[in-house]
Amino acid sequence: MTQFSPDAPARAHSFTLSAADDGLAALGGWREYPRVQQPTWPSEDARAQVFDRLRSAPPLVFAGEVDVLRSRLAAAAQGEAFLLQGGDCAETFADSTADRIRNKIRTILQMSAVLTYGASVPVVKMGRMAGQFAKPRSSDTETRDGVTLPTYRGDAVNAYAFTEESRLPDPQRLWETYTTSASTLNLLRAFTGGGFADLREVHSWNRGFTSGPGYDRYEELAGQIDKAIRFMDAIGADFDSLKVVEFFSSHEALLLDYEEALSRVDSRTGEIYGCSGHFLWIGERTRQLDGAHVDFMSKLRNPIGVKLGPNASVDDALRLIDRLDPDREPGRLTFITRMGADRIRDALPALVEGVRDAGARPAWVTDPMHGNTITSSNGYKTRRFEDILDEVVGFFEVHQSLGTVPGGLHMELTGDDVTEVLGGSGHIDEAGLERRYETLVDPRLNHQQSLELAFLVAEMLSR
Ligand code: PEP
Ligand code: MN
């Protein structure tokens, strides 16, 4: 989201709030297409009530902010900026507390300071936050001790507790998704506009790193940042001017009727914006070319992401470009690749080359999380820090060898001291996972692992 100075471009826009607006009629076409990963709400009446309420609720983000983000992503696609997108796999209502949200924002701001200083590149800061409440699942059911129940689909749909009642989809949860997103965004706007991002905090960041294989490489960079900030502080540099930062929200646009209910027509241009978040992406499981998600997203003005796994073909990518970015507008489309450390060096080059040779210029971003998920011998869904890092290294290698642009990082992380990912300088081992494994879906880097990764990426970016 952008700074809210009086002349911020958001002021130039207003939305037609009525969902009955003819301008929104075009959006409904997705219902003609096959749709996957959508809940079946138990009562049509209850569903309709919530959707009416959402349709007349204020937008969470504004057209001017979304337009600014598109221009930032255009810069990332050209190598003039770098996207840092991070947050939980699945936000939860219970964990949307001031402390947890602050810790996540702080982590992203710290990582971006490391990247900016280490690589002299502006960082586009984006949370997987304020809307990441719905999850696609590989299986519709889950069995525990011989009992089979519907799977947990994120707090937007049902509850995690393993009982029949809690796993029933409840449309009231969509209203809570909206209000929780709104309170999260409120805090985000306050923190990023009100001095929280103070860079003088940098002193403390490298304290956590006392050993580990990557230590020497980032220790020097951390020391340099520290020194630069002390110098600026000592000469009385204007830290106030650094206090306001741009920060954008994003989530997977999974629940199409929720996304539709939060779409608004920009009264200035007549164009449709998804107003549940600045950046919306289509997941690996919902990117069917003839499916409802691609159709729906093709009609929104927001910058759009699409996840691409190791089996995505050049043809898939080109057809997605034709559907989602027919005008090949800078910043409109971001491909988020999630290949796995063992596949990226084989699978990514052909995709990037095919897209480049067709004259398209999407931003290429790496998600080094989703292709590297394993189960530990003691039964935890986890990832190895070294695999995550290896996929990022592979991503840079591929782009370097092709002369194309590595545009950013998409991470599952938290600002807390959880133990969900193996390794890092904290040496979390399988037994260590038991200490503080809190995620309800996928494992996240903790605060220290996130910073460690940022230092290592800064080094690659500056080469
Ligand atoms: C996710 O980002 O949490 C996710 C489900 O990713 P993907 O669609 O790439 O599997
Ligand atoms: Mn995930």
CA 45 to ligand 2 center in whole angstroms: 32
Ligand lying closest to the C-alpha of residue 283: 1
- Residue 126 phi/psi, 5-degree rounding, is -145, 130
Q: CB-side exposure of 51: number of CA atoms within 13 Å? A: 17
pLDDT at 7: 39
Query: Structure tokens of 438?
Result: 């809190």
Q: CA 438 to CA 382: how far, in whole Å?
A: 12
Please work out whether the CB of residue 444 comes within 6 Å of at least one atom of ligand 1.
no
pLDDT along the chain (463 residues), means of 10: 40 55 84 96 94 96 97 98 98 97 92 87 96 97 97 98 98 98 96 69 64 61 81 81 86 97 93 98 98 98 98 98 97 98 98 97 98 98 97 97 97 96 94 98 96 90 81
pLDDT at 390: 97
pLDDT at 21: 61
284 residue type, one letter: E
Q: Closest Cα to atom 3, ligand 1: which residue?
A: 89
Q: What residues form DSSP beta bridges with 384?
A: 422
Q: CA 366 to CA 339: how far, in whole Å?
A: 9
Number of CB atoms found within 10 A of residue 89's CB: 22
Report the alpha-carbon angle 281-285-286, nearest 5: 55
Atom of ligand 1 nearest to the CA of 90: 3
Nearby residues of 403 by Cβ (< 8 Å), 6 or more positions away = none
Please work out whether the CB of residue 317 comes within 6 Å of at least one atom of ligand 1.
no
- Residue 326 phi/psi, 5-degree rounding, is -60, -30
Please work out whether the CB of residue 284 comes within 6 Å of at least one atom of ligand 1.
yes
pLDDT at 10: 44
Atom of ligand 1 nearest to the CA of 284: 8
Nearby residues of 91 by Cβ (< 8 Å), 6 or more positions away = 128, 129, 130, 131, 132, 133, 155, 180, 184
CB 65 within 8 A of CB 246: no
Please work out whether the CB of residue 283 comes within 6 Å of at least one atom of ligand 1.
yes
Which segments within 256-407 are labelled E, that is strand? Answer: 263-266, 272-274, 279-282, 304-308, 333-337, 363-366, 374-375, 381-382
Atom of ligand 1 nearest to the CA of 283: 8
Give 121-141 as a DSSP string: --EEEEES-SS------S-SE
With the most atoms of ligand 1 within 8 angstroms of its CB, the residue from 88, 280, 304, 307 to mutate is 307
CA 412 to ligand 2 center in whole angstroms: 7
- For the chain, what is the total number of helices (H) and then of strands (E)? 11, 15
Is 417 strand, coil or helix?
coil
pLDDT at 195: 59
As a dihedral over the C-alpha atoms of residue 63, residue 68, residue 74, residue 80, rounded to 10 degrees, the angle is: -170
pLDDT at 425: 84
- What ipTM is given for this predicted complex? 0.99
